[in-house]
Structure 1
Amino acid sequence: MRIVVATNGGGLEDSISPVFGRCPAFAIIDAEGNEIKNVEVAPNPSAGAVHGAGVQAAQFVLSRGANVAISGNFGPNVSSILQQAGVKMIITQGN
Structure 2
Amino acid sequence: MTKWVHLNWGDEGLVRLFAKIFHILRPGGTLVLEPQPWKSYQRKAHVCEATREHFNTIQLRPWHFTEILLDKIGFKSYRQISTAVPGSTAGFDRSLFLYFK
Alignment TM class, shorter chain as reference: 0.3 to 0.5
Structure with the higher fraction of residues in helix conformation:
2
Higher RCO (C-alpha under 8 Å, 6+ residues apart): 2
Larger Rg: 2
